[in-house]
Amino acid sequence: MRLWLPLAILLAWFGMALGAQWLPLAPNVIDLPQILAAPGEGAWLGHDDLGRQIADRLVVGARTSLLVSVWVVGLSLLAGTLFGTATAYRGGWWDKLAVQLVDTFLAFPGILLAIALAGLLGPGIDNVVIALTAVGWVGYARLSRAQVLSLKHREHVQAAMCLGSSHWCIMRKHLLPLMAAPLIVEATFGVAAVVIAEAGLSFLGLGVQPPQASWGAMIRDGTRYMLVAPHMVLAPGIAIFAVVLSINLLGDRLRDRLDKRMTARTGNPA
């Protein structure tokens, strides 16, 4: 499949998210005569149950999903990579304790644990980021641990140890660069997962609160009017579908590209 369409969709997502604060939008303006109005001239995605323009709220919701995705994936990647790398490199009881902690987190379904944490912390975008980060770091920790266990016995790492390099220097210069490719791929798929998770929490009322816009909250508001105003659900639903599918397609292509580079560099068959 050609990648120009997924790239165009993601560029449109980034453009809406980054340009939302400069565009002449009115996502919270109530227009009572236009309640549940179908798409038409002047409102190409129609109006919602309060007469607000769905197109404007869709753009603002793109900013919400991108903001949460960047923060959650960034914090999860940082925390999980540092934790998994440090504990696997030290080995011994540090590694055993880390494995027990990771297994404990993995014993709970991720989305259910995020819902529980978001419920305890209360609704709001900051608490959504905290809840999803508390769940998301585990995958990066497990991946980085597996990478370190396979890399720390290589010749260049053993040579650095014999030359007296510090543990931090070895991890920073000899381990992390070789771990970057699988972690980047994992982070790419993590963005898609966070988009869905944020929409799910907002759908349950645990995400951003009215009048702020979120794709999940827009779907929740539209479920009551599916028969008379299906555009309220279709617009944010198609947006989530398109963004998540585009990220996954690009993630697959990135994984294949990085696997080919690693195969060519090491000389081992994939």
The answer to whether 136 and 81 are in contact (CB under 8 A) is no
pLDDT, one tens digit per residue, over 79-90 is 999 998 888 888
33: DSSP letter = G
Find, among 89, 184, 85, 76, the residue nearest to 137 by Cα. 76
First-to-final CA distance of the chain: 22
Res 46 pLDDT > 80:
yes
Higher-scoring residue by pLDDT: 264, 212 = 212
CA–CA distance, 2 with 53 (Å, rounded to integer): 33
Please say whether the structural domain 4-266 has been given the CATH code 1.10.3720.10: yes
pTM of the predicted model as reported, rounded to 2 decimal places: 0.87
Of the chain, the percentage scoring pLDDT greater than 70 comes to 94
Neighbours of 214 (CB within 10 A): 28
Provide the Cα torsion 146, 141, 102, 134; round to 10°: -170
The answer to whether 243 and 90 are in contact (CB under 8 A) is no
Find, among 45, 204, 209, the residue nearest to 219 by Cα. 204
Res 123 pLDDT > 90:
no
In this structure, of 53-62, 95-104, 167-176, 191-200, the range with the lowest mean pLDDT score is 167-176
User: Tell me, what's the pLDDT at 260?
Assistant: 61
Average of pLDDT values for 189-207? 92
User: Tell me, what's the pLDDT at 193?
Assistant: 93
The answer to whether 255 and 143 are in contact (CB under 8 A) is no
User: Tell me, what's the pLDDT at 155?
Assistant: 77
Residue type, 132: L
CA–CA distance, 184 with 165 (Å, rounded to integer): 27
Provide the mean pLDDT of the chain: 86
User: What totals of helices (H) and strands (E) does the chain contain, helices first?
Assistant: 10, 0
